[in-house]
Each structure stands twice: as C-alpha cells, then as structure tokens.
Amino acid sequence: MEQIPTKRPHSNSDSDSSQSPQQSNQASSPQESPNSLDISSPQRRRYSRRTRQKNILTRHSYSIPPKSQSKTKKAKLSDSQDSSEDHPSQPMYQSHGMSLYTSIHPSFQALLSGLEASDDIQILQSLTQLSMDLAMIHEDLLSNLPVEQLVNALITCLSKDTLQDIPLYAMNSLTNILDAIPNIAGLIVASGGIGILCSKLMNFEFIDMAEHAIKTLEKMSYEHAAAIIKEGAFGLMIGTIDFFEAEIQKKILTFAINVARTLNSQDHFIQYVAPSLQSLVNMLGFRGTDFVQQNEKTLDFFTILTTSLIRMCCTDYEKLRYFLQIMIDQGLIKALYEIVNHVPGLVSKAFKLLHILCKNASSATQMLLSLGISCSLKETLLKWQEKNEKSENSIMEALHLTETIIPKVNSDDIIEKEKIEIFARHPQYLQTLGDTILPQIISLYEHFASKEMKSLVITILDKILEQSPPDLMLTYVAPQYFSTFIAELLSSRDLYTIKNALKIVNVLYEKIPDQVSTNFIREGVLDRVQNLKSAEKLRELSADWRNLYTERVNRAREESRYADPLMMFRFSHGLERSYSVHEDPSEGLSLRRYRSESMDITHDQKKDIISLCKSALDKSKNYENKRAVNKQKQLKELANKLENGDGESAAEIWRKLIMLIESDEAISQFEISYSGLPEAIWKWLELPEMRDEAKNSVCLKRLEEFLRVFFESSSKNETHIASFITLLLGAVQFLHGFTVSPPDNSLTTLSGIRSLSQRVRLHFQYCPDEIDPVAFYDLSTEYLTRHNFFSTTNDFSIAIEQFNTFDSVKSLLLRVRSKEDLLYFQEAFHHNIDFRRENPSNLRRQIRDLQFGTVTNPMVLDMDIDNDLEEFNTEIVMPRERKASEINGNLVVNLYWKGNEITKGMTVFEIINRQDNSDEPIIKFRFSKSALTIKGSSYLQTPIEIYHNILEESQLIGIDSSEKIYPCLRLLKLIFKLNEQFPQIISTSSLLFPSISDSLKLSKVQSQSFKSQKLSALLTRQLQDSISTTSKNQILTLPKQCNFLFPYTLRTEYIQATGFGGFRSLQYFLDRNQNKERFRVQKQKQKVKIQREKLLQSAMVIMSDIRLLKQGILEIEFENEIGTGQGPTLEFYSLVAKEIKALNIWRNQGEESGLFPCPLKASDERYRDYFTFLGRFVAKALIDKRYIDIPLSPIFWKLVLNEPITLADVFLVDKNLGKFLLELQEILNKKHNLISQKKAPQVNFRGSAIEDLALNFTLPSYDFIGLKRNGKNIFVTLDNLEEYISLAAQNTLLMNAQAQAFRIGLESLFPSDTLKTFMGSEFETLICGEADEKWDIEELKLNIKPDHGYTSTSPTFKNLLYLMSQFTFKEKRLFMQFISGSPRLPPGGFSGLNPKLTVVRKEASMPGISDDEYLPSVMTCQNYLKIPDYSSLEILQKNLKYAIEEGHEAFHLS
C-alpha cells in the first residue's frame, strides 16, 4: 500500500534535514585529495595514445589512501586497526591489531632492502607497501626513521624506467615524506634529486608522473628555488603549463612566484626566467571567469618579479630599464590593460603593477596611454560612490597610477624627462587625463580620510594644472565651486596641502587670471592667502609627520608580500633618501628619524609658503575687481541694521535679503560666513534682554513675521527659507574646523582594533572626603556600607580592555559592598577577546536553560525587575531578589586621574594614551550623593514658554560657542525646530500664532534640505577609525544635538560604533574591516531555552539578568523544538512583542498613532515592572540588531528623553481627542482675539455653545478619572475652557511614571541620551523595521534570489513574485514572520535582509508523491525559502497561504 504523507504545515526550520542540491552533490562526491593516486583506475590519463601494458598491480587493485588535509592531523592509529578480512589489501601489522610504531620498525629495514633489490617486481611491491604506510604514519614516528637513507633510495627508484609504476610510487612516497618533514627538501637537493624530478616533467608516459613532480618541486621551491631554477625547471614547467588542469596550473604559478620572490641574480633572470615570459604573459589573457585565479597568480608573479628586479638593480637604472623593457616587449602592458577591462576583481592589482612599471620605464607609460588607459581610469574613479572595499582599493591604485603617468615638471630624473617629451609629442594625452580627473577631483579629495590619499589627489591636480593649456582649465577650474575648493584647501593645517594649494593659486593667476580673480575674492581665497602670512597662523601649521609616516609605513609593509618592504617603499612612493636594503622598515625608517627629518624641512616649507603667498597677492593686485566685494558689503549692511534695529518689524531687511539670496549671482559661502548675518538674525529673534510680557509679545511678533516672510514659496517653486538653509549649510562647510585625523599613535583600522582590545591594568585607590563626625549619622546606609568596606580594602586593580568606558567601571563599582562583590567586579571585564585565525570552535556559547517547572518560590517571577546583582546557576538562570540595602539610590562614584575628574564617556584608551610612562595608571575614587534629580517631561502651555524652549534647545549644539561655526549651526537648529512643528505652529488653533489665517500659503521644508553632505562625509570617515571614536572629537558630538544634519542610515552606524559600549563598538569595526576574514573578536552568545507556554514570564526573567544581557548576543531555543539560531530568536522577540501589546498598560494597540501608556488609574498595577522590562527588552533588541514589532508613540519617546510636550502632541497620541481639543483651542483663540478687539466673545463649537456640550472635568475616554476634585460635577464653560484644555492634555500626555520606569530599564544597558541621535518619527523604523513598503515586482526581482532548481524564468518563481506583489498588509506580516521570524522588513526593505531572501526548489522526499502535496518550508537563519515546483498558481497560493498562517509558530525539521 502506498504511503501518502499527512497534509500538515512544513514549518520553519533552521536545522533542515533536506539538503540543497549543492549540499547533496558535496555529500555524494567527496573531494579527492590532490595528492591521492588511484593506481587501479582504468582512466589514468596519459600524454600518448600508446596502450598500457598490464602488470601485477592492476590485479591487486591497490590504491594509496588520500592524505589528511592537515599535516598536524594525520589519521589516528586506532582508525586503521580494522580486521584484515574487511581490508585484505591492508598491511599485515594492521590485521593483527599491533600499533603502528611497534610494527613499522621491524619491517622498515626490509622495505629499504626491497627498494635496493635488483628485482623490479620486489622494488615495486616494497614501494607499494611504503606508500601505504607513509600515508598513515604520524610525523613524530616518521622523524625517528632513517629519513636520509630512505630519500636516497627513493631518488634512485625515480631513475628506474623498466616498470613505469616504480617512479610513480617513488614520487608519491617522496611527496608524503616532504609533506610531513618539509626540511628533507635539502636532502633531495643534496642527493641530486632536482635533476631527476625535472626529467620527469618531460616524461610524457603518464601525466600523473608529471603532476607529482610539479607538486614536489612546488613544495621545495619555498626554500630551494635557486637550486631548482638552475636545473631548468622553470622553463620546463612554464612551457608545459597549458597541458595541465587548473589545479596543477596554480601549482606551477605558485612555483613561479616563489622563484620570482627569491630571485637574486641578474644572470638567472636572463638565462632562465626571461625566455619563458611570453608564456606567462599569455596566461594573463582573459579566458573567462574559470581562469581568474590563474590570472591573479600570474599577476602576482609579475608584480613580485618586477620588485625583485628593482631590488637587484638598486641604483643601476639603465640595467633596470633594460630588464623591464624585456617584459614590456612580451606584451605585458597590453595584457594588463585587458585585465583592467575584463576582470573587475583584479583591477587593483593590475593598477599596482602598472604603477611600478610606469614609474621605472617611460615606454610603459607611452604604451599605456596609447591603449587608452584614461577611459579605464575614469571608469574606476567613478566608483567612489559605491563605498565598498574593492572599489576603494581600485580607486587608490588608480590614483597612484595616474600620479605616476603624469610627469613632474623641472625634474632631473631621466624617466620624468622622457615622459615630458611623450606628452609634448602627444598633447591629447594630457587633455584626456584632464577630462578624466578634473571633473571628479573635488569628490575624490573629500572621499578620502587618509592624509596620504588627499595629498596624492592634490599632487595630481597640481601636475595637471601646471602643464595644461588655458582652454582645458577654463572648463573645470574657472567656475565658482572650484575656487571654494581651493579656499577649503587653504584652511588646512597641513603644510603640504597649503603649499600645493598656493602653487595652484599662482598657476591659475598666470594662465587664466581674468576668469578666476573675481571668484578668488568672493570665495575667500585671497582672504585666506592674506591670513597665511601672519606668524600666528603659521605657528598653527604642521607637517603632520606622524600620520604621514604611519600611513606610508603601513603601505610599505603591505607591499612586503611582493618584495623587500623598504625597497618597495622607496621606489613606489619616491622617498629621495637612500636606506640600506637590509634594514627593517621599522628601523630604517624609524619614527624618530622620520620626525627629525620632517622637522628639519618644516622651517623651509613655511618659508616657501610665505613666498607663495606674497607672489599670489602681488598677482592679484593686477586683477582687482571692486564689484567682487559688493555682495559681502550688502550682507554686512543688513546684519548691522538688524543688530541696531528695534521694534516689531524688519520687513524691509527681509525683503532685501531675499532679493540677494534669489538673485542670479548667488551668494558665496565665504560671503555668508563672514557677513555676521547668522548672529544678527539670532539676536533679532531671541531678544535676550527682554523678559516682561510686553517685550515677550514683541519677540513673538518678530518670529511671526520671520516665518510669514521666509516660509512663503518663491518664484523658483521652493520656499525662501529653503534657499536660506542652503546658504547656511554652505557657511557650515566653509567654516567647519572639524578634523578626522586619527590620534598620533593610531595605525590602520586593524592595528587600531588590536590596540583597543589589548588589556591594561588599572590601579584603584579609595580616597574619601573627610567626614564630619556630626554629619556621620546623617549619611545613608548605602554610603556607609561602601565606605566601611573600602576603608579596609582601599587598594586593588583590574585588567581591562582599552575600548571600555569608565561609565561601565562606575556602574559596577557602585555594586561592590563585600569581598565577594569585589571579586566579581575584578572579573567582570574579563571579556572573551582574542585575535586569532577565525575558527568556529573558538566561539564559546554559554547555554543555560530556564526550567520554570522547578521554580517553587513565587518571588522569582514576581520580583523587582530593576535587579542588578544576580546569582548564576550553570543550569538555571534565576536572578535573586535584591535587598533594600542593596539599592544604590542617589549614590554616585567619582573617578579621578592625576587630579582630574574622569568625565562621562571617557574611555580607558584615552587615559593610556595620555600616560607619560609605562606605570599602571592610578585611578582614585570616592562616593558621593548624586546631585541629579530626574525630572519628568513638562507641559508647555503659554506661547512664550514654547518659544523660549525652542530657543534654549537650539543653543545646544555640542560644540563650544566660541567656534566660528556655532552661529550658523544654532540658527540652522532653530529653523529646523520651527519647521518640525509645521503646520501646528502656524494655524488658527496654534498656541503661538493664531492670528495667521489658514489662507496663507506657507510650506514646510523637507527634512532632506537640512542634511549637510560635508559633515556627513566627515562623520563617515571618522567612523572608519576605531581609535578615533574612543577619543573626544567634536564631530562625534554633533549627531546627538544636531541629528537633522545627518542621514538616518549614518546615524544608525554612529550608535553602533559609539552608543552600546566598547565591546560592541569593537565588533562593529571588525565587521567593517577588510581583514575580518583573518581576525575577529569572539562573539560570546548567551543561549537560553524557554517554554512557549510561559513566554512573557520567561522574557521578564531573562531581561532581569543584566549580566547575561551585557555579556553577549542572546539566542533563544524553544523546548521540544529542534530549531536553533536566528530563527527561533526572532520568533521569540516577535511573540513577546505580541504579549507586550496585549498587556493592560496601553491606551490603544498602536495601529494608527503608536503605543502610548494609558493613565495609571486604568493601568495594570504592575505597570512599573512591565515598563522597566520593556525598556530592557527594547535596549537588548537594539544592541543585538533585532527588530521587534512594538511601535511606541513618538510622544512616548519624548517622555523617555525628558523632552517637553504641548497641546499639539495630543493629536499624535489620540487623533480624535487631539482634533477635538485643537478645535476647542481655536474657539479659545477666537475668544481672545475678540476680547483684544473689545468685542463680545460670542463663539461656539460647530454651531453650539460650549455650555451645551455637557462636558465635565473628566478625562476623555476615561470618564472615571477626574481632571480635578469633584470633576464629574463641574461642567465646562467658555470661562473655564482654557483650564479644561490644559488639564485634559496634561492628563493624557504626562505619563512620566511609565516613561521613567522604561528609562530605568533602558539605561541598565546603555545611556538613554544615545537615542537623542534620532527624531521621534524615526523610532518606529529603528526598532520595528519598515512599516509598510510597497512590494513591487521589479523590486522583488532585484532582491530575491532564485537558486538550486529555480531561475528567474521558472514559472513557480515568477508566480511567487506575483503573489507577493498582491499581498495585503496582514499577509505581508505573516509572510515575513514565516521566512525570517520577524513580521517586518529591516530598513531598506528586501535589500536590507542579510542574507538575502533565497528561493530554492523543494524536492519530494517520498516516491510517488506529487509536489503539489508538499507545503513550503524555510530556514529562517538564512532567509532560505523552499518551495516545491507547483503545477499552477492556484496551488502555490493555497499552500503558501496555509503555510504562513499555520506554520510560523513552531521550529521542527521540514
């Protein structure tokens, strides 16, 4: 009887039993070792067609077992102790169960004797036995054998050709010995084995023989390349490379690389290497994606060979040019050009080799230019917007190549002179390069953070302009924006940058003076040139010797893979001084020596700068233009009028300013920056000296006029304020003094990460304040407990990684009350951090089960959730109940280093970086009462309260008010905060400006208009350096106070890098680092098993365990379910979110306005526990990058962050109530307006008097809650309407108790002010993911990958995309829950899924059962959707709907 599977949902699974096709193939066909050799196979390959004669070996079917893949992990002895009956061909000692060590020695001399016998059959049998033994023997045992005698015997056997298999077995045995004991390569050389091995390369009897010879020679080439090359092996192997398969070709190329690396004789190059170069050049030719690895190895060979030639020739440039010309004549340049155009992954390496060739051979430059390299360079340089590692490296190498191609004027170098002649004969080359580089020069300069790369870009620009004709320069450097760029270069503090910028200024004055003179004045170029002459300004300049040294040495060390690092450094980067070839880079180019030399030239550099400044100013006098300063004069006049003006109106000033802004001749960044206008506008709107009611009224009328004028639309279909914002952002770009240079001792990102992960020891000393005996008894118990303990134990130390902040030290130190607590404190920072080769076995995973069935104490679940000190059990995680005496209350700890208090956010690295000596830093500490009192949000009722609050918040910029950029940022923030409250701030129901009618056409500015590309680029580059983010830097303070300046995605990266503690920051940098495949910080995972039936209880217990939450990434497993990893974890977060939304603590379910707490009288009595738990739950989800469907209201986030609220916020909590209260406010505004006009206040609500509405002083929607005493019996009238509106709004919005509990939970994992980086409207996306993205078919095609049985044209795959595009909102949520464990997509939609959603074909597991009978299943950890090949769209729709509705809440095998 045929078995039919029961129809049930094949639910989500992360442990999937059905293998993908790729996995199945791997399982069915295990990989064969490259060194294995099957003698019995009838398919042995041969060069000739000659029929192979049968011999004795074919009848025994002997085979040599494949070797272990690791030399240190040979097959265990016990693995080979099977019975001889099962393995009749195995050696006799195995069948007797004897150990290999005791068996091999008695028989080994017999084997050696057999090898030296005269009978070829006996030799062959001995070799067969030896090959099998060597494949199994351990290295330690092999080292005890007479290896020298064995090697000599095998070399002799290699020479025998009477039986073809004798040399084959001898070769295999030799390879096995070489694998185990690499040092025997010297014995092979001494025995004359190289010549014999080389002879086997030309033995065309069997290709197996040649392959084994190649493998053996390749292994030997690491140490004995010189000896091998003398035997002619290089030419033989390269000459026959096309006969072999890909893997052997790679071996040959590796051999060639080893030869090139150790090449130390010019004669060897001419005699042995040069004749084979043509074949290797041919290997560079693109032959499809299957040959890319061969292309790469060949490219490495030529790069290493070139640098070896440079090393050998040293100062003999003629000889070097001759050798390089040999390679060029073989077609190397053309081959490299083809690589650049056809193999994207090798562009960086190809450019690097071309750079070296062009630097040392002018013929390479000419040939490359004639081929049209400019187009390839342009295509590469345009990739700067892609912002990935491959593109970054390609761009850097392209710039190095460009700089090398363009000759240096007035150089004595022969090659540079030859290049100048080439460009003189072919002027189109410079024109093409100019068209390639100049349009992108500004973008490229701003793209790089590295001083070296910035200097390189400026060098290229200087070279091009110095040699370009005026007509080329007019197109790209005459426009206004280029003068702005030059002015920015002149604001640098780097001598090299300023000197080159001044040279460019002088060149432009010489070639196109009429076109640039006006722009130089209007963009502030001449102003900055004038300032550079001052002694004070010159003192600020430095050579940045340390950063430049670090970058260059790092690059030299990177090049050490190809040649001697110092020589590569010298020739590739053009250092003029001569260093010893044998010096170590760290010694030959020592930091002290480099600094000394740099300081020697600093004085001369400054002299040059003064000379260049004088020359530029002298030239400018010949092209003075008085009209160039008109705009700046007009702006300054307007600023003076505002500062000296009084009264309510400045309409005429605003009209003139708008005319200037919108004129065809745009205001420059310099003109607005130095006009004084931003400061004058602020003072006009602020009026700080006015505080009485009458003067406050003047202040509001000024603001009203400003809004009415500037928020109107202009003739260009945008508001005037949008144009003004653009001007202010330009001023910010011009005035900013932010630098992103890493600290003096910062190295590369990886080196920085290593520095941060290093442990240092901190010494702690308790130094309390003197206590007055009278006041002693007034001190709190919590203070006395700690004081008494540390008075006796006042000296201790901890080992801590440098990435940690002292905030974490303070929080843990507060918990210490006993020796046991002190021990925990000292061990708390023992993170599992170790830089090593990545190995999954290194990742510790701590598994703890929550077994609620064993809990007998009800206090375990009904505990105080604000629990900090927990006790651990290896099996059960249960926090203990905290005693009242353990609560920290208002106690704080103050830390001091060298008499200075350690401030909030300071890292251990900062202290170590400032430490003068190598002694342990001494940290002194004491306890004191906290001066901070947490206040809840306030309700702003009057217009002046609202406006003054906006002014106060606008002054919080995050930088010192003395900075030049401060006035511009302050005014920008004021405009942003006013714009943020549109249209509520200006409407008939507004508390601020009710006099403005609804008919006035005022438009809100899009938030994108406030984004600063310049500051965003600076912050992006700052986040690329792991050490800089641990130090104080002003650019890092801006995102919290001026979040409107930066895009959302950049701010999410910012909090990942800086907001969640040092360990998470370190992991963030490792994830971004290009060397992350080599090193990593071990991710500690906390694995917890829970029951579905007690989901919320389990979650509350987990979230009360602070140490578990802080120690690693939380992973969840469900009891009695097989799934593990990301899928069940996301399911846990999703299901807990549902439970949270169902609690009786919310005003609504958050469908429209987001979740907002209900009043306390209507809430569950455990609201404090729930909101503290929710704070930790949200914090943990943010830290672990889990999206949870808890859309908290933006107004609730205002309460959490202690931001004030207004009447307009009611609408964002309850739309109906908000609309109702705003209508009442409009009536109140009309009443005040009529009274001000001395008219009778006759107003009504929708045709009815207020008294007829029968409203009483109870809270809307909660009639049992009175707004005042006896509120049910007090009715609302026109006289008490204002009081009713205020009380109703406050009692609806001010849920401070819930917000404070949430904040306590949040701050147990990270500071709440971290979230000030985001705006209220962004929190839902940050925490929940995308709300509802349109699932367009074209978008789905781009981001969903068909694989393993499906292609983009498969009917089932196309049907799936169609169904997805037709999903309802509910179906989208169910589908996402099914495939990923979370109901929402991450920010960015499907493109933000990591890994991408992959759809594969699900094969029927039972014969005779149709695909239509199976349901879809998933691997949620990998976003891997498995769908059978259904016969129709209807079947797919039916089965998929059933699966997503019924199969998303269990994890089993599918």
What are residue 826's DSSP bridge partners?
none
- Sign of the Cα torsion 965, 969, 971, 972 reads positive
State the Cα–Cα distance between residues 134 and 176, nearest whole angstrom. Answer: 6
User: Of residues 157, 358, 968, 1421, which has the active-site annotation?
Assistant: 1421
Q: Give the HSE-up count for residue 1002: Cα atoms under 13 Å, Cβ half-sphere.
A: 23
Which of 66, 41, 30, 44 has its CA nearest to residue 176? 66
Burial of 1341 (0-12, 13-18, 19+ CB in 10 A): middle
Helix axes 545-558, 591-621, angle to 10 degrees: 120
Task: With beta carbons less than 8 A apart as the criterion, state whether 343 and 292 touch.
Answer: yes
Alpha-carbon dihedral of residues 1101, 1107, 1112, 1115, nearest 10 degrees? -10
- How many degrees, rounded to 5, is the angle at CA 1360 between CA 1359 and CA 1362? 65
The enclosing H or E element of 1445 equals helix 1433-1446
- B/e letters for 986-1005, b = 16+ CB within 10 Å, e = fewer, are bbbbbbbbbebeeeeebbbb
The beta-carbon contacts of 1426-1430 under 8 Å, at least 24 apart in sequence, are 1426/16, 1426/18, 1426/1399, 1426/1400, 1426/1401, 1426/1402, 1426/1454, 1427/1356, 1427/1360, 1427/1399, 1427/1400, 1427/1401, 1427/1402, 1428/1356, 1428/1401, 1428/1402, 1428/1403, 1428/1404, 1429/1349, 1429/1354, 1429/1356, 1429/1401, 1430/1356, 1430/1359
For the chain, how far is it from start to end, CA to CA, in angstroms? 24
Residue of 378, 386, 391, 309 lying closest to 347 (CA atoms): 391
DSSP string, 204-242: -S-HHHHHHHHHHHHHHHHHHHHHHHHTTHHHHHHHTGG
How far is C-alpha 1338 from the geometric centre of its chain's CA atoms?
A: 28
As separate numbers, helices (DSSP H) first and strands (DSSP E) second, the chain gives 67, 14
How is residue 330 written in tokens?
Answer: 């073989």
- Around 1, how many Cα atoms within 13 Å sit in the side-chain half-sphere? 3
CA angle 684, 690, 694 (to 5 degrees): 105
Distance CA 270, CA 395 (A): 35
Distance, in Å, from the CA atom of 743 to the CA atom of 147, rounded to the nearest integer, reads 55
Interacting residues of 901 by C-beta distance below 8 A, sequence separation 6+:
894, 895
Element holding 302 (H helix, E strand): helix 292-313
Q: Tell me the angle at which helices 677-686 and 966-980 cross, rounded to the nearest 10 degrees.
A: 50
- Residue 613 designated active-site: no
**Per-residue CA distances from 749 to 117, 1024, 1026 (Å):** 63, 7, 6
1011: number of Cβ within 10 Å? 16
Both structure tokens of 1356: 């089932």
CA dist 1130 and 1004 (Å) reads 39
Tokens 């030639």 — which residue?
Answer: 309
Structure tokens of 1277? 């009238």
Phi, psi dihedral angles at 845 (to 5 degrees): -130, 110
Phi-psi region of 1261 (alpha: psi -120 to 50; beta: other; left: phi over 0): left
Just list the catalytic residues.
1421
